[in-house]
Amino acid sequence: MRLIEQSVILENCDQPDHILTLLERAGKTCYRSQPSPTKEGRIVFIQKLIKSGHESVLEHVSLSVRIVTSRSVTHELVRHRLASYSQQSQRYVTYNDFNGVTFIKPVWYDKQDAASKFIFNTACQNSEAVYKNLIEDCNWLPQQAREILPNCTATELVMTANLREWRHIFKMRTTNKAHPQIKELMQDTLALFYDILPSLFKDIYSEYN
């Protein structure tokens, strides 16, 4: 058994300046106006689009991330149907390496007392033991044995969405109303995007920083 932190990394990104140029050119097509000669001019124009609610222009650019998180979090993520997903299969992947089953550590785990941590760890270890027993001793297939695994079982997926959809996801999943596990994951994702395209995500990023 392994207990790990969830994580997110940027899987793809064109040059940020190229992204800004494409978005500006697309947006100015609507108004038959000329592109700005400077990066600052492009940023001002794109921010005006966002402020005015003309975010359809942002759909011309997509970004992908590779996420390692719990199955419970991915059940929430895949509800965003304008995104695309490629997720590790539990039907065809068997947790039979030396590490056994990997579980995601809840974001509130470190603040718990020793007794609650012991109960949580024991539950994970028991589910792992039963899973292995069903496969090795009962000849169950992975797609059958997986029924015993808990929501905190780790999974990996690549997620792609256009910039408008990412903004929508962040507005929903980084607030205090979001589940703590997905909130932390999406805040980390938002921070990645803010680092490369601050002009597109500053308004949302500033909400929790």
Q: Which of 91, 20, 92 is nearest to 58 (CA)?
A: 20
- Using one digit for the tens of pLDDT, what is the confidence trace for 144-168? 999 999 999 999 999 999 999 999 9
**What residue ranges do the domains of the chain occupy?**
1-13+63-198
Q: Dihedral sign, CA of 34, 35, 41, 45? A: positive
Alpha carbon distances (Å) from 97 to 2, 124, 136: 11, 16, 13
Q: Where are the beta strands (DSSP E) in 71-133?
A: 84-87, 102-104
Catalytic residue ranges: 173
- Using one digit for the tens of pLDDT, what is the confidence trace for 11-61? 987 788 899 999 999 999 988 888 888 889 989 999 999 999 999 999 999
pLDDT range class, residue 100, cuts 50, 70, 90: confident
Q: How far is CA 77 from the centre of its chain?
A: 7
Separation of alpha carbons 82 and 155, rounded Å = 21
Partner residues linked to 87 by β-bridges: 157
Q: How high is the mean pLDDT of the chain? A: 93
In this predicted structure, what is the pLDDT of residue 156?
Answer: 97
In this predicted structure, what is the pLDDT of residue 84?
Answer: 97
Domain 1-13+63-198 fold is Gyrase A; domain 2 (3.30.1360)
